Amino acid sequence: MSFPPRTQRVSRPPARRDLSGAPFLVAARGGRPSRLPVWFMRQAGRSLPEYRALREGVPMLRACLDPEMLAEITLQPVRRHGVDAAILFSDIVVPLYAAGLDIDIVPGTGPVVTTPVRTEREVDAVPALEPGQVDAVADGVRLLVDRLGDVPLIGFAGAPFTLASYLIEGGPSRNHEHTKALMRAEPALWHRLADRLADVALAFLRAQLDAGVDAVQLFDSWAGALSPRDYREFVLPHSAKVLAGAGEYGVPRIHFGVGTGELLTAMRDAGADVVGVDWRVPLDEAVRRLSVPGGPPPVVQGNLDPALLMASWPVIEAEVRRIAAEGRAAAGHVFNLGHGVLPDTDPAVLTRVVELVHSL
């Protein structure tokens, strides 16, 4: 397969398809779809042999900025598994890289920043993202809109806290010690950085939305490291800025984090239409926590433990049935994992889970 150069533009199809009856979108808007919809975080990626073959010798960031390649990778799990939504193949640091930051995705490690951002001078040097810098991603979205038929496409971005954590720590972190120290010791500087990163995330989402994605997900992968008090003071205003900007497009907005059981109501308050729930909190309990007196039941997404996909089929089937039953407490339920597909997951198991979910 050959790929167009990064500067080549793709012709623009109609901005957004009418998929109002698609099960994923019906559920995400709090309705009762024709079947329980299912997709998987990281469904496009390392668990698929066709992905590994396509990506051989191609660095991650190059793949994310090649319209033909990112479109093909996004389509692979839709063809193989029959999921109800495609998730754009990308990475949360793509807009930072595209804006000019010296950042790379190191195999086996993850995003690594050459110079961590910890001082006022370094914060002020974080560049804005100009729409043209992610034209390749927008072109990939247009290709997908043309090729997905009636399958919705989910765009995504990293939330300001998680982006800031990578920049401040210099890479993945277990304790986020530098991030928390800056947040508490220099709150004004923290808010300046988080606000700048909210603008980057929103610009990235707008590029995808303008190109035609049907929903968006804001990933706050590391927010579970925070207390509810710190989340509301230091994080919520910036995530709310991103979600409010995306809300201007009228598409469902999903908000997800890992280990965020104590933050679910705050993440709802940030402006999410759908709250993603990891495997640590049962969905019916998440619905109870998210419910507002006098208001409609919330919409949730989740939440099969991805590690259980390594278990025997009877174990997996029982868990899928339990989660589907618990999800009925919500106004709408999108079946998913409680985090991303693990690399060693058997693709045949994922296909079988989709078939089971659709039968319930």
Question: Which DSSP helix (H) or strand (E) runs through 154?
Answer: strand 153-158
Report the distance separating Cα 94 and Cα 108, nearest Å: 18
What are residue 103's phi and psi, to 5 degrees?
A: -140, 145
Amino acid at 272: A
- Is residue 50 classed exposed, middle or buried when 0-12, 13-18 and 19+ CB atoms within 10 A define those classes? middle
Give the number of other Cβ atoms within 10 Å of residue 31's Cβ: 14
Report the distance separating Cα 136 and Cα 91, nearest Å: 14
Give the number of other Cβ atoms within 10 Å of residue 285's Cβ: 14
C-beta pairs of 287-294 under 8 Å, 24+ apart in sequence: 287/329, 287/330, 288/329, 289/261, 289/264, 289/265, 290/264, 290/265
DSSP string, 49-112: HHHHHHHTT--HHHHHT-HHHHHHHHHHHHHHH--S-EE----TTHHHHHHT--EEEETTTEEE
User: Sign (positive/negative) of CA torsion 277, 280, 282, 285?
Assistant: negative
Catalytic residue positions, numbered? 42, 46, 55, 91, 166
DSSP state, residue 18: -
Query: If you search the block for the tokens 């990475």, which residue do you land on?
Result: 91
